């Protein structure tokens, strides 16, 4: 704690708290203004001039990030500014789109935000919500939001913004409401340190009613055996049954009441979960429900010491860190088939350009995802790149494709690395060095992304083949 804070009385602390919030807002504004200026510097069309055809072919074209009326930006410029900010490309691109909207489509709101009187995140949310509104109508939103954003809580500001967005373009709103049906989804949050995970679904209201009815029926069945469990926790337990249809069906069948009235029009129509004809109930009671079990492949990373009884935490792809006890509970109710463990110390080599599947698997397991600096993706859906570019005329006696020269990259990152002037080299197992067109340098390894001196990066990149340099 700063010594100056220890000398403040209650009023002084309150004044300092208000000042700190304003300073934080102004710092966020400056961050956005720097992004906007970077975009302005890179707003000329790269396809103009003698190299235009090549720029268009490799993808460095002007892209429209914001809404109608915002200036376009060169695609290749997005990578370096994201690295300079220490963020993923998606986060930086979203921030840039928001500030362009605020500057060019919502100038009144932006003026209030620049004064430090309003929260930047609320204004950015308004920018995203109104991005589809035509440029000649978005002023309706801007005027309404600018009047209240400094004086109302964020939730109320967004409620007004949503209403004004509909008012600004009612026919367009109806079209988008229909289009939103194609954007239904089920999403999964990150597994927390307690082994719990959030599931978010955007589905038809009718389907949601059926799910609610099924959950309430399962809660009704489970509640006598869980007298000390609160309603929210019981619903969470019931939700878990949806992932195990055989167990769910057996539970419902065992507690089916054929005399129960079924009221499909009732808001709380819990009985819909047991609305089976009697002959179907009899047939289901005799059926082998094991075929209803879903199949899945689970990739578990576990240190060998755990096999000898040492305390350890497993990392499960798609779930995150999981205690061994929770992993045992997860696998205990399954029919388990264990695949052989891959030895990551082995060397995989190929004289061909293409990466064999065994190399892809090994490379992913070493890197756990995209090897671009500050990359956030841990997906297996990536391109497999040669950090040191493949040379068709290279000597066949020294394979260029292998565990010594392989890294997973997202498609956009791969394109930038190939065409936008970045250089990289693999310099050890799961260890990569990068330089950017404007001279920044990064080392990516099992500890994350670190900025390093460009001279060191060049020394690593330009070292003889087979020589990996480690600086103290």
- The residue out of 157, 183, 209 marking a domain boundary is 183
**Domain assignment of residue 468, yes or no:** no
**Domain assignment of residue 376, yes or no:** yes
Instruction: Find the length of the chain.
Output: 472
State the total domains in the chain.
4
Q: Give yes or no: residues 321 and 357 share one domain.
A: no
Residue 278's nearest CA partner among 262, 257, 261, 247 is 257
Amino acid 333: pLDDT: 61
- The residue out of 125, 158, 183 marking a domain boundary is 183
The span from the CA of 262 to the CA of 253, in Å, is 16
- The residue out of 126, 153, 183 marking a domain boundary is 183
Residue 31 DSSP SS3: helix
Q: Give yes or no: residues 175 and 269 share one domain.
A: no
Q: Give yes or no: residues 304 and 270 share one domain.
A: no
Tokens of 109: 């709101």
The span from the CA of 141 to the CA of 153, in Å, is 17
Q: Which domain holds residue 129?
A: 3-183
Q: Give yes or no: residues 14 and 158 share one domain.
A: yes
The span from the CA of 276 to the CA of 291, in Å, is 20
Q: Give yes or no: residues 253 and 224 share one domain.
A: yes
Q: Considering only CA atoms, give the Rg of the chain.
A: 28
Burial of residue 465 (CB within 10 Å: 0-12, 13-18, 19+) is exposed
Tracing tokens 């900025």 back to the chain, one arrives at: 451
Residue 340 DSSP class: P
Backbone angles phi, psi at 424, to 5 degrees: -150, 165
Residue 300 DSSP SS3: strand
The span from the CA of 309 to the CA of 237, in Å, is 30
Residues 6+ positions from 436 with CB-CB distance below 8 Å: 79, 80, 83, 421, 422
Residue 262 CB: number of other CB atoms within 10 A? 11
Q: Give yes or no: residues 27 and 165 share one domain.
A: yes
Amino acid 22: pLDDT: 94
**Domain assignment of residue 257, yes or no:** yes
Q: Give yes or no: residues 288 and 304 share one domain.
A: no
Amino acid 457: pLDDT: 94
- The answer to whether the CB of 408 falls within 8 A of the CB of 387 is no
Q: Give yes or no: residues 68 and 133 share one domain.
A: yes
Per-residue pLDDT of the chain (472 residues; tens, 9 = 90+): 666 888 888 888 888 999 999 999 999 999 999 999 999 999 998 887 777 666 677 778 899 999 999 999 999 999 999 999 999 999 999 999 999 999 999 999 999 999 999 999 999 999 999 999 999 999 999 999 999 999 888 888 998 898 899 888 888 877 887 788 888 889 888 888 788 889 999 887 667 877 888 888 889 899 999 989 998 999 999 999 888 887 888 788 778 655 444 443 444 444 444 445 556 656 666 676 666 665 667 777 777 777 777 666 777 776 666 767 677 766 766 677 777 666 677 777 777 778 888 888 888 888 888 999 988 887 888 899 899 888 877 666 567 888 888 899 999 999 999 888 899 999 988 899 999 998 899 999 888 899 999 999 999 999 998 889 998 8
Amino acid 264: pLDDT: 37
Q: Give yes or no: residues 270 and 406 share one domain.
A: no
- Indicate if the alpha-carbon torsion angle 400, 404, 405, 409 is positive or negative: positive
Burial of residue 339 (CB within 10 Å: 0-12, 13-18, 19+) is exposed
The span from the CA of 99 to the CA of 94, in Å, is 9
Amino acid 282: pLDDT: 66
Strands (E), 42-120: 62-63, 73-74
Q: Give yes or no: residues 168 and 36 share one domain.
A: yes
Q: Give yes or no: residues 307 and 257 share one domain.
A: no
**Domain assignment of residue 220, yes or no:** yes
**Domain assignment of residue 193, yes or no:** no
**Domain assignment of residue 305, yes or no:** yes
- The answer to whether the CB of 157 falls within 8 A of the CB of 124 is no
End-to-end CA distance of the chain: 33
Residue 201 DSSP SS3: strand
The torsion angle over the Cα atoms of residues 197, 200, 206 and 212, rounded to 10 degrees, is 30
**Domain assignment of residue 344, yes or no:** no
The span from the CA of 258 to the CA of 275, in Å, is 8
Q: Give yes or no: residues 252 and 305 share one domain.
A: no
Q: What tens digit of pLDDT does each residue of 322-338 get?
A: 767 677 766 766 677 77
The span from the CA of 165 to the CA of 157, in Å, is 12
The span from the CA of 41 to the CA of 277, in Å, is 69
**Domain assignment of residue 25, yes or no:** yes
């Amino acid at each position: 704690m700063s010594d100056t804070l220890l000398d403040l009385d209650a009023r002084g602390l309150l004044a300092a708290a208000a000042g700190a919030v304003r300073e934080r807002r102004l710092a966020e504004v400056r961050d956005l203004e720097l992004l906007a200026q970077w975009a302005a510097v890179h707003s000329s069309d790269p396809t103009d001039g003698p190299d235009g055809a090549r720029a268009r072919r490799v993808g460095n074209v002007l892209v429209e990030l914001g809404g109608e009326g915002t200036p376009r930006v060169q695609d290749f410029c997005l990578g370096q500014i994201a690295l300079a900010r220490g963020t993923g490309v998606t986060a930086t691109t979203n921030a840039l789109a928001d500030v362009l909207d605020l500057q060019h489509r919502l100038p009144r709101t932006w003026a209030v935000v620049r004064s430090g009187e309003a929260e930047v995140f609320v204004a950015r949310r308004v920018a995203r919500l109104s991005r589809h509104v035509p440029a000649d109508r978005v002023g309706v939103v801007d005027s309404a939001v600018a009047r209240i954003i400094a004086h109302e809580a964020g939730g109320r500001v967004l409620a007004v913004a949503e209403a004004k967005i509909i008012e600004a373009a009612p026919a367009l709103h109806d079209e988008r409401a229909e289009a939103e049906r194609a954007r239904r989804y089920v999403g999964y949050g990150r597994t927390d340190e307690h082994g719990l995970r959030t599931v978010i679904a955007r589905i038809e209201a009718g389907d949601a009613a059926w799910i609610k009815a099924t959950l309430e029926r399962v809660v009704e069945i489970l509640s006598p055996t869980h007298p000390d469990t609160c309603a929210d926790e019981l619903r969470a337990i019931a939700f878990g049954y949806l992932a195990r249809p055989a167990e769910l069906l057996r539970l419902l069948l065992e507690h089916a009441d054929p005399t129960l009235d079924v009221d499909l029009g009732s808001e709380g129509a819990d009985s819909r979960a047991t609305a089976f004809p009697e002959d179907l109930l009899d047939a289901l009671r005799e059926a082998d429900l094991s075929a209803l079990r879903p199949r899945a492949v689970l990739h578990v990373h576990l240190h060998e010491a755990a096999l000898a009884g040492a305390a350890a935490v497993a990392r499960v792809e798609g779930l995150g860190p999981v205690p061994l006890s929770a992993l045992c509970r997860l696998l205990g109710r399954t029919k388990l088939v264990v695949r052989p463990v891959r030895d990551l110390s082995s060397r995989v080599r190929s004289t061909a350009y293409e990466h064999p599947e065994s190399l892809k698997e090994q490379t992913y397991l070493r890197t756990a995802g995209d090897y671009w600096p500050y990359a956030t993706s841990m997906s297996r859906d990536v391109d497999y790149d040669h950090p040191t570019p493949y040379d068709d005329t290279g000597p066949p006696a020294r394979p260029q494709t292998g565990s010594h020269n392989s890294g997973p990259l997202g498609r956009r990152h791969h394109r930038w690395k190939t065409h936008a002037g970045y250089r990289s080299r693999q310099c050890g197992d799961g260890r990569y060095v990068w330089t950017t067109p404007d001279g920044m340098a990064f080392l990516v390894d099992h500890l994350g992304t670190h900025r390093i001196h460009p001279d060191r990066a060049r020394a690593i990149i330009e070292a003889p083949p087979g020589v990996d340099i480690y600086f103290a």
